[in-house]
Structure 1
């Protein structure tokens, strides 16, 4: 079942934790790929020095974060990679959750060819883990790029659905790669499923 708009229109920390175990789905030309979300980071908007919208910054890039909840915020980093975020909270509150890692569960050969130009059963053990164990890796695997920026996550192209009901422990830690963010770099706003081999670090 696809997550409804109301799921995203809540406290960003709560949404972050509850996204763990949910399933990210992309559909393209009839090809369906799915990955279980195993790692995320919360970005708390205007007050968060690590957020693109810190201090009320309003650029063309961050426009979607100020809009309605339940939309994809996809951005380009280092001139090379894409990262995908889920916009949370009500309109005007620019907060989001970065999807940091997935565990592939459907479309293995498609994902594998996008990443390594090989079918899944041709991959080494290490390559299998490396398919989606980082924010830019999962975007490459799921074919998420700037064309999906501002895409409605309640639509048919990219969305998140309920996963299997399972018990797991959630680990809270510091976010990764935000050393510039002063005190915000120490906030425990990264969440991941304990023991999952696809967690990025």
Structure 2
């Protein structure tokens, strides 16, 4: 499995969010490969996007990596969960793509152990906090180059039937709450539940 080249992530954020659908997210831990096919993403467009942590070019210790080169990992904590984002676009333009859901494709028994609970496979990785726990992705991955092992993305099969909706959990962000920047594979059962 060859990681996608770093230049892949220089695509504009909205394009990258769609291009990542169908690719495989891989985390090599010890002698295991935990693998999931990306089926849901969300785009966050920095300075002009009130839902982004980097709105108005807000540069903090947390958001600093978003201003760096494309292909770096931006992890942050929400409640007790770690969320995985990939920095997109050009240096100085704080855009990122959130990986919201994956379809388990390898190392499933280890993913279940990582979740530490008895859970149906369908609910294993159908949310951004669930997938990071299942794959063993933590805040220690902040700033990691996603084109390098042990955490990386490989080319998959492009998804033909992409659906869109407003993003999840950004209700108090004015008009940004309605931007249709959530992308997912239509009718895939591993997509997160939209409330």
Same fold (TM over 0.5): yes
What does residue 125 of structure 2 align with? 132
- CA deviation string 1:132-165 (max 9, x = no partner): 00000001001111101111111112110011x3
Alignment partners' CA distance in 2, 1:189 and 1:176 = 10
- CA deviation string 1:110-134 (max 9, x = no partner): 001111446xxxx5xxx21110000
Give the TM-score, by structure 2 length: 0.95
Alignment partners' CA distance in 2, 1:157 and 1:5 = 15
What does residue 95 of structure 2 align with? 95
Alignment partners' CA distance in 2, 1:117 and 1:43 = 31
Task: Kindly indicate which of the two structures has a greater share of residues assigned to helix.
Answer: 1
Alignment partners' CA distance in 1, 2:37 and 2:181 = 19
Alignment partners' CA distance in 1, 2:160 and 2:186 = 7
What does residue 74 of structure 2 align with? 73
What does residue 108 of structure 1 align with? 108
Alignment partners' CA distance in 2, 1:117 and 1:153 = 28
Give the TM-score, by structure 1 length: 0.92
**SS of residue in 2 equivalent to 1:76:** strand
- The verdict on how the C-alpha distance between 1:142 and 1:167 changes in structure 2, with shifts beyond 3 A counting, is closer
Q: Is the 2:34–2:135 contact (alpha carbons within 8 Å) kept by the matching residues of 1?
A: yes
Q: CA deviation at 1:90?
A: 1.2
Q: Is the 1:168–1:194 contact (alpha carbons within 8 Å) kept by the matching residues of 2?
A: no
Aligned residues: 192
- The verdict on how the C-alpha distance between 1:166 and 1:4 changes in structure 2, with shifts beyond 3 A counting, is closer
Q: CA deviation at 1:32?
A: 1.1
What does residue 34 of structure 1 align with? 35
**SS of residue in 1 equivalent to 2:174:** helix
Selected match of 1:171 from 155, 163, 179: 163
- Cα RMSD between the aligned structures? 1.2
